[in-house]
Structures are given as structure tokens and as C-alpha cells.
Amino acid sequence: MTRSFRNPILYFSVALGLFVTCGTALYIYGSQSTFSGNVTIAGWRVGGMSYASFQLESEQRLKRLAAFPVLLHTSYPEITAKELSLGQLGIRYDKSLLTQSLKQLTSGSPFERAKARWTLRDANIPLNVSVDSAALTATVKETWKELYTKQPVAAKRILQSQDQVAYEPERNVLRIDTEHLQEELQSIAPSLGTLTHTAPLGLSLPVYEMSPSVTMASLKQQGIDGKISEFTTSFPQSGEGRVHNIRATATSIQDYLMAPGDTFDYSKIITQTEAKFGYKEAPVILNGVLVPGIGGGICQVSTTLYNAVLRSGLEIVERRNHSLPVSYVPLGQDATFASGYINFKFRNNTPSYVWIRTITTDSAVTVKLFGHQTPAITYDIASKIVETIQPPIKYVNNPSLRPGLERPISTGKVGYKVETYRTKRENGTIVSTELISKDQYSPVPTVVAANRKDLQTEDSAPKQPMVEDGVSTLAVQ
């Protein structure tokens, strides 16, 4: 009985001793303040180094890394070589994984610290490298400021003598490719363990040519290779205000560019011109009568443009003739404008762009349209009067005259009904003929004064004003 009783006590004593011994060993193992012999951090062998010494020396090494020089150079003479530090170039070292590992070694229970120490006994803990792209870009632009003050110059389409279309090529500028530079910096950036020398790292700057949005190639892709039509109207002995209005409106459509399918809207041109240049006093048409107004002459520009459009084969979307005949084009070939009532629109129905050019002198305005030349195709415009409308007689009551007596005040003018046709020819042979418009010009009545009892006083109520060939009358300013 005594022997069997002693054996459990002996076993318990041995087990307790082993537990205490193991616990003591774990406590001693987990409480050590140095790295295990084979620990490497970012290529730096720190085995046997105390945690405190590591913290101090690692901070110093990180500062040295931030100040580490990089010599940036290129083969371009206009880009001078510069020496900048890794920190200036936006290199950032992420210590989060390292901090987490150290926390496991220095905090928690002895058992937890011992477990962490054992787990990390042969570890190679990385130090992640990144590049702050915003900081890198800012440094590059500041360092090579003169390079970035130069901007690319867009290509230009120009006209040579005889209306030949030519091009002035774009001018590119050099730029540093910061995206590729960021990748290269990240790949060559030294780490804690590779910081063994102080000589600058050499790095060739990645450079590219920056082009403007408009290049000679993009202009040529628009398909404009020559003049497709031209038309000129004259305005001799016009007043200064009318000349200004014509010139200003023509300037607004200078270099107007229409993509295939685009629609030209004359009302927008009038609005832009009025805002930019302003319109001056010149006669306008108010309800079929010439009166003093503002903007007189704007329809000479729309009419000139209309005739150029007719002769180019472009599609007329909206157009009306004047209420009165005009002197600078044949009947049926004018295009008036009345804000809110009458507009002029046409569409580019060709597969290439259309480019508008204008020339204005003190006595004439010319509109030239450029696009894809097809010399074999031509257009003829012909208008014919299909009916003459005799002027009516308008009697005005004049009680001062002897009863039954009539006295002429003004002679009327006949009106017209006109049809206009566009004939398309290919190599001189008629391909098609289309009716472009049917227009009517109202006659101007003959005015006669008379003292007759049967004459009734006209309604003096004003008509709703419709101003043509201008933007307003002086009476409604």
C-alpha cells in the first residue's frame, strides 16, 4: 500500500518540476530584449541586436535614406542634370509591418512573446517602398520649371496665294514621364540593409514629347484640301454704321469650322457679334419699310454666305427672302434675318469638314468655303420671275383737298414671284436640277391723297414689329 501511494506523488513532483522548468525557460526566452540570431529586416541583419538599439539605429537609417542623393540626367541638352534626394522625389518607406512585428515581440504575455520570437526567429521582415506621385510631380515641375513654362503650339491651317490650303506644323515640348520615373525610383530605391555607400544613384530621366490637341495630322484628317465655292457682294457708298455691321458679322464667321453633319445657325452668330462688337446705326427693314435702326447690313453677310453655300452643294435647312428686293443679288438669291421670326441655317452634308473664310473691304464682302475639292462637280444657280405683281393703290384721306380731287404722294413698285433652281454638273454634264425656293416680294403700293367721303381712317393700332436686316429700330430702342 505504501509503494503504490508514493508513485503518484513522485510522478506529480516530476511533472510539476518539468512544468516549472519549461515555464521558466519560456519566460526567459520570451523576455529577451534582443532579436534572434537569424532575423533580417529589409536586408539588414539584426540578429543579436537589442530592440532599443534597433529602434534608434533604424530611425537614423531612415533619415539617411530620405536624404540619399539621386543624380537624374538625360541626353537632351535642354534638360539639365539635377541631384535630388529620395525624400524630395516622393520615396516613402512603410514601417507598418515592421512595427507590428516588434509589437508582438515586446507586448503581451511571456508565452505570446515567446511564440512571436520563435515564429520570427528566421524571418526577413520587409520595409515596403512607395512613391508619393503628387510629391514627385510637384518636385519635377519645380526643379525643371523652365521646361514646364513652354507650352505646345497647335498646328494651323493657312491659306497661301491662289487660295491654296497649307499647314503650319505643331510644335511639341519635352516633358518628364513621371509615371515611368515613379516605377524606376521604386525599383532602385535602397533599403535599410543596402545603405552601404553615399555616392549618388544614377538614373536616366524618362522623357517624352507632349503634342498639342490640334496637330497637322488631325487637321489633315478633316479632309479640307481646297476651295469649294466663293461669292462676293458689293455695298458701295454705304454709311460707316453699315460697313461696321457687315465687317463685324463677317469677322464672327471667320474660321468657322463645321464637322460633317453640323448645322450652321445664323442667329447664334448675330448674338455673338452683338455681344463682342456691338452693332451701329444703319437702315433696317421694319414690316416692309426702310427705317432708321441698329444693325443694318447683317443680311448682306447672310446673303453672301447663302450664295456661297448654294454653289457648294451644301444643304439649305432654313432661309427666307427679304420682304423688299435688295440691290446686291438677283431676286430669289437673298437670305434675310429677323430675330425670333426668320433665321438662316444650312447643314454640312459632306463627309469632310467645311471651313469658312471671309474678306471685308469698305465696299464689298466675300465668303469662301473650303472643304474636300471635287473639281468634276460644279453647281449653277438660276432664278426666274414667274409672276409680276402690280402695286395696289392706297388712298390717304386729306380733308384739305377739294372734294373729289386726288393728288399722288408716291409711286408704287411692282412685286414678284420668283423661283430659284440649283443645277449640278459633273464634268460639264447636267446630273440634276433642284428647286431651291419659291419667293414672293410684296409690291409697294402707290399712295394717293384724296378728299372722299367713302375713305375710312386706317386703323392706327401698331403692327407687331418685325425687323429685317438689323437687330432693332431706333423707335424701339
> For residue range 159-186, what is the model confidence (pLDDT) as tens digits?
998 999 999 999 999 999 999 999 999 8
**Mean pLDDT, rounded, for 253-279:** 97
Place of cell 500500500: 1
Residue 31 in grid coordinates: 523576455
- pLDDT at 16 > cutoff 70: no
- pLDDT at 460 > cutoff 60: no
pLDDT of residue 457: 55
- pLDDT at 74 > cutoff 70: yes
Least confident of 5-14, 308-317, 443-452: 5-14
Is pLDDT larger for residue 214 or for residue 19? 214
What is the Cα–Cα distance from 360 to 247, expressed in whole angstroms?
6
Amino acid occupying residue 297: G
Burial of 461 (0-12, 13-18, 19+ CB in 10 A): exposed
What is the Cα–Cα distance from 219 to 213, expressed in whole angstroms?
10
Question: Which residues, in sequence order, are CB contacts of 400 under 8 Å at separation 6+?
Answer: 451
Residue 80 in grid coordinates: 539639365
- pLDDT at 388 > cutoff 80: yes
pLDDT of residue 461: 46
194 and 86 Cβ atoms separated by less than 8 Å:
no
Sheet with 201-204, edge to edge strand ranges: 82-85, 69-73, 201-204
pLDDT bin (cut points 50, 70, 90) of residue 477 is very low
pLDDT of residue 463: 59
What is the Cα–Cα distance from 345 to 264, expressed in whole angstroms?
5
- pLDDT at 35 > cutoff 90: no
Phi and psi at residue 36, to the nearest 5°: -65, 165
Full 3-state SS string of 392-412: CEEEEECCCCCCCCEEEEECC
Going along 95-138, which residue ranges are E strands?
124-125, 128-131
223 and 165 Cβ atoms separated by less than 8 Å:
no
pLDDT of residue 145: 95
Range picked from 46-55, 233-242, 361-370 for highest mean pLDDT: 361-370
> For residue range 417-433, what is the model confidence (pLDDT) as tens digits?
999 999 999 999 999 99
Helices (H), 410-476: none
Look over the chain and give the mean of its residue pLDDT values, rounded to a whole number. 88
Between strands 156-159 and 446-450, the pairing is unpaired
| Closest C-alpha among 332, 333, 319, 242 to residue 285 | 242
Residue 282 in grid coordinates: 444703319
- pLDDT at 242 > cutoff 50: yes
List beta partners, residue 30.
none
pLDDT bin (cut points 50, 70, 90) of residue 322 is very high
Residue 63 in grid coordinates: 533619415
| Closest C-alpha among 150, 161, 160, 206 to residue 180 | 206
Q: Say what the pTM is.
A: 0.76
Is pLDDT larger for residue 40 or for residue 220? 220
Place of cell 516613402: 92
Element spanning 21, H or E: helix 2-30
> For residue range 136-162, what is the model confidence (pLDDT) as tens digits?
999 999 999 999 999 999 999 999 989
Count of positions (residues) in the chain? 477
What is the Cα–Cα distance from 307 to 344, expressed in whole angstroms?
12
pLDDT of residue 19: 59
Burial of 211 (0-12, 13-18, 19+ CB in 10 A): middle
> For residue range 106-120, what is the model confidence (pLDDT) as tens digits?
787 777 778 877 877
